[in-house]
Amino acid sequence: MKRLALLPALSVSLCTSLAAHPSAFSQNLAQPVTVQAQEITIKALLDQIEAQTSVRFQYSGQLIRAQRRVSVNAVNQPLDSVLHDVLRPMQIDYEVSQDRVILKPVGADITISGRVLDEKGQGIPGVNVVVKGGTNGTTTDPDGRYKITAASEATLVFSFIGYLAQEVPVQGRDAVSITLQPDNKTLSEVVVVGYGVQEKKLLATSIASIQAKDVELLPVASPSEALVGLVAGAQITEPSGEPGQGAVIRIRGLGSITAGNNPLYVVDGYPLNNPDSYYQIPPGDIQSVQILKDAAAAAIYGSRGGNGIVIVTTKHGRTDGKTRFNFSANTGIVQVAKKVDLLNRDEFVEYLRDSYTNGARTYPVELTNYLNSPNGLPDTDWQNEIFRTGTQQQYQLSASGGTEKGRFYISGGYFKQTGTLKGSAFERFSLRANYDAQLSKKLKLGLSLAPNFTRTDVVPTSGSYNGGNISGGGPSGETGAITAALIMPPIVPTRLANGDYAGLRNGTNNGITNPGDLLSPLAALDLYQDRNNVVRGLGTSFLDFEVIKGLNLRTTFGAELINSRRGIYVPATLGTAGNQAANLSNPILNNIDARRINGTNLNWVWENTATYNRTFGTDHNLTLLAGYASQYNSFEGNTVLGQTGTFTNTNIDYPTAAGQVFGQGLSKNENALTSVFGRLDYSFKERYILTAALRRDGSSRFGPDNRYATFPSLALAWRVAEEGFIKQFPTISELKLRASYGVTGNNNIGDYNYQSYQDAANYVLGTGNGTRVYGFSPNGVALRNLGWETNTQFDAGFDLGLWRDRVYLTVAGYQRNTTDLLLNRNIPAILGFASRALANVGEVRNRGLEFQLNTANIVDGDFTWSSSANLTLNRNEVISLAGANEQITFDAVFGYTSSIRVVPGQPLGVFYGYQQEGIYRDQADIDRSPKWTASNTVIKPGDFKFKDVNGDGVINTQDITVIGNPFPKFTYGLQNTFGYKAFSLAVTLQGSQGNDVLYGGDRYTFNAPGGTNARAEMTNRWRSPDNPGDGKTPLATTAASLRTQFNSYFVHDASFLRVRNVTLRYNVPADWARKVKLESASIYTSIQNLYTFTKYIGYNPEANNYGNTTNPTYGVDQGSYPMNRTLTLGVQLGF
């Protein structure tokens, strides 16, 4: 007898063979055998039977315990009778395949593993796998893999929200993999839209959807950061790496000049009043994010939908009766991803000498003495001094579960990041509780509560070195630490001999005095105190009543309270622009600034909807929505300060330390919105689709004579793939054509801009010297017709799915026109006011194309590979402003006057200046070139050479032209996800092409030559006609030159390709996890912003000093907070 070990995979094959040969089964069992023996082992018995028949037994001696003994007395008995009488009492079962009999223990438990795939061949995480009729169960890991122990004859039940449940008999197999089919009637296959959901296949509008698995484990502080590179049609950028700062989302370009371009954020149906509340949602709490891009999708939100909608759905419990606990944690380090190349000590000293030589100046005695210091000159790397390796940690614990009667999700989270710039940090504590209950057959209740607390430590960072920008605003005259570090000469030490902080003057013994107010960036980071504590609480509740089948009435009420307390303290020892001499050894009490800034924001929303859904016959499906909503928002704020000059000690860092305390900025703003709205969704044979929506808003922000606005939309779609002439091509699984038109608004025009106010005005009345009388006078004209900005948008596109949607392409084109822009225009002087007045005038247009491609490249076997790519092209143009020759100007940085302009025919906020053609090589080059006449500056060889744009033979302000565009020609993203057995690797790339950035750090280099440090590129400067350098970098000189004129030299190509995220994960085998009482476990490592390929010379090609600005001032970098590289190690546990 040949004894074989039972391998599960072989058993599957044999069982299949058995089913295919029923005749062989009967013949083998009918063979007669004779066995007479006492206390014979099972193995010996089987050997005797094999000797008498053509049957061969296959078994595992260990499983059936073949050394057990039996007594047999069978004479000429059929084989099946002998096997039944002998083996059954021994709890041994058998199956026959041709001439083989497979033996196994009755009801033996085996370990079964496999993978659950979706219809696109991608693994589905979180699928419930249970043994039918039992309590044993598990869930699939993030790659869709599972392991479970069950009887060899058990049946496994696979279920997941959005897919049809499947029951699969094990039949002795140890490998069971299946593909779940979508259940188009469940939530997972629908997309959350305004005030409801729609089946994805029946969408006629343009909506992007991101699921939990795409964002929940990324080591980022906000969900917007997790979306970078994933969405076509939405430009998501990170202008600053400051802790706690979220990414900026712009949907289909910029449409407003003064009213803002933020989308409306809706969380679990609640429209947020403040984008920061969205930034504070832990990514691990998010179930899905939908981005409504076209006006037809956003029109249901009316006057708030002009910039698109971001809808967030948070997690809720499942209804399978099981409570699940999940814990995730990651920790790591945060580094500056890139530093700016600057001159070192020796290069700077040479640059300094050239500046004095070319400027025909001699060294001051103090500078000569300092350069000849007997102890040598320091070589300070100021970037190393202000930056550090930060840390990041994130923890989240959640519990979820429920039944059909009620379900819950509760989570608590903690996030902390110490910034790469010393003194900066962010910390968040968060809670979330979602509860849904089926109170009766017809009545549902929903409750949600989401409080959080954030603490942000702020330091002066970007902007002017002597007036640094402070997030959220703050005292003036503080040292902008990053800008100061970039221009502080390396020959300045960090500290003086007495321990004081060294600045430019005292650090060089007054050898360098320009700019004299360049103070130590380290002092600002070490001594400036600024902490903002914010408590947020968002709560919502709803009741949903089913009146009759298909008709539901719902009332929803929610409120959000935000309370902020910010404390700022400038100590007596911190030098500022107003008190430069203050230092550790020289505290100046008059320099103390102590203030407390308080704010309270209350917002509530009450919404009532009726939804009717019915299918007529088998072909007509109709959904009707009607609703009423009201919303109220109020904000109260104040600032309490200690009077400058009245502080008497440094022991108390609070305003009460001053002899006189006063308040300022006392304010209260209120606005209210009331709305009625409706939507119709109709489909015929799920082939021809129509969606129409209408909303009418009344807002207190609008003028009294223009309070109400109506916003209609219409969308059509044709699922061509459902037509018979397409169904004959099995390769095409989906083909949908769609088009839409809609009108939306932007009501962020301020609460009281339509009103005329009274300003305090004193008058002298009476004879002689008269008597002063206190009074008021109007400050402007009341604008009773002031209204909203209007967006009108056309959208057309198609969806194409191939090979059962393994390849899925979405393409859309759009034109978005924003009219009635809120701008200032001239008013007749006869009205008695010299100022301009707001009005709804002007127009901006955005046109674009979007491409989204998802592919399941390899889905079978141990190795899997899927990809997702997107490409967005947007062209922005100002069509008109308040007047025919009107233009709006902004100063990008101090000294670059009108360097950003809004001009009809150009994008919204481009860079204007002189176009550099090169460098004047020698005097002959100057003599034969157009003459500089814009100022009295005498041009010398080595100076900037500008283009004569209008060709009139002279260079003056008439030659100022467009020299840069902060908006990219296109943006793109690519995500590849690889899987091999228990390992998975996800790589996300993000890119932008054609955008420019104005690097403002060079302004101080060129305005104070030799007094400030410069970029390393200055080593390629013009030195002589025979050594002209790189042909674009001018000479070093202290004399007047064109170096101070804003020109294209300061505008840089900021195109980039960034390795945005790399995450490697290992899913611990389920049997290992169960040994420590876990259902699932995985460990992972992630790198955020691994590397950026770019020619841009600054820290971040997405930098913008003005962050999430309302004004069209984009692409300005003057000491912006660097982009961070984050390396983390994490773990995720399920139990």
pLDDT of residue 107: 62
Overall average pLDDT of the 726-740 stretch: 92
Which of these, 455, 453, 454, 383, lies nearest to 422 by C-alpha position? 383
State how many domains the chain has: 2
Q: How far apart are CA 913 and CA 93, in angstroms?
A: 89
pLDDT of residue 31: 82
Report whether 754 contacts 782 (CB < 8 A).
yes
* Whether 75 and 125 share a structural domain: no
Rounded alpha-carbon distances, angstroms, from residue 536 to 287, 563, 666? 21, 7, 21
Any domain includes 1054: no
| pLDDT beyond 90 at 488 | yes
* Whether 99 and 120 share a structural domain: no
Q: How far apart are CA 82 and CA 85, in angstroms?
A: 5
Q: What is the pLDDT of residues 493-543, one digit of tens each?
A: 999 999 999 999 999 999 998 898 999 999 999 999 999 999 999 999 999
| pLDDT beyond 80 at 163 | no
Any domain includes 56: yes
* Whether 119 and 164 share a structural domain: yes
Question: Which of 179, 199, 221 is at the close of a domain?
Answer: 179
Any domain includes 64: yes
**Residue-number span of the structural domain to which 175 is assigned:** 109-179
Overall average pLDDT of the 770-788 stretch: 81
Report whether 1033 contacts 1022 (CB < 8 A).
yes
Q: How far apart are CA 1025 and CA 1048, in angstroms?
A: 23
Alpha carbon of residue 919 to chain centroid: 43
Query: At 25, which CATH number?
Result: 3.55.50.30
* Whether 15 and 86 share a structural domain: yes
pLDDT of residue 835: 63
* Whether 64 and 119 share a structural domain: no
Structure tokens at 926: 């100057």
* Whether 58 and 77 share a structural domain: yes
| pLDDT beyond 90 at 42 | no
* Whether 100 and 163 share a structural domain: no
Q: What is the pLDDT of residues 212-233, one digit of tens each?
A: 888 877 888 899 999 999 999 9
| pLDDT beyond 60 at 9 | no
Any domain includes 361: no
Structure tokens at 341: 């190349």
* Whether 12 and 97 share a structural domain: yes
Rounded alpha-carbon distances, angstroms, from residue 122 to 171, 178, 985, 1068? 25, 11, 14, 20
Q: How far apart are CA 403 and CA 437, in angstroms?
A: 9
Question: Which of 179, 200, 234 is at the close of a domain?
Answer: 179
Rounded alpha-carbon distances, angstroms, from residue 401 to 289, 434, 1079? 22, 11, 15
| pLDDT beyond 50 at 430 | yes
Query: At 145, which CATH number?
Result: 2.60.40.1120
Q: How far apart are CA 607 and CA 199, in angstroms?
A: 23
pLDDT of residue 269: 94
DSSP string for 367-385: HHHHHT-TT------HHHH
* Whether 78 and 59 share a structural domain: yes
Which of these, 871, 749, 763, 743, lies nearest to 816 by C-alpha position? 743
Q: What is the mean pLDDT of the chain?
A: 90
pLDDT of residue 149: 86
Lateral strand order in the sheet of 888-890 = 888-890, 900-902, 908-913, 961-964
Any domain includes 80: yes
pTM beyond 0.85, yes or no = no
* Whether 61 and 146 share a structural domain: no
Any domain includes 168: yes
| pLDDT beyond 60 at 762 | yes
Any domain includes 923: no
Q: How far apart are CA 222 and CA 860, in angstroms?
A: 35
pLDDT of residue 776: 80
* Whether 149 and 164 share a structural domain: yes
Any domain includes 245: no
Q: How far apart are CA 49 and CA 34, in angstroms?
A: 8
* Whether 73 and 117 share a structural domain: no
Q: What is the pLDDT of residues 945-954, one digit of tens each?
A: 999 999 999 9
Question: Which of 55, 76, 105 is at the close of a domain?
Answer: 105
Task: Tell me the chain's radius of gyration from C-alpha atoms.
Answer: 37
Q: Which of the residue ranges 4-13, 923-932, 950-959 would you say has the lowest mean pLDDT?
A: 4-13
Q: What is the pLDDT of residues 55-89, one digit of tens each?
A: 888 877 766 778 888 888 888 888 888 888 888 77
Q: How far apart are CA 939 and CA 937, in angstroms?
A: 6
Q: What is the pLDDT of residues 1001-1024, one digit of tens each?
A: 999 999 888 889 999 999 999 999
Report whether 635 contacts 599 (CB < 8 A).
yes
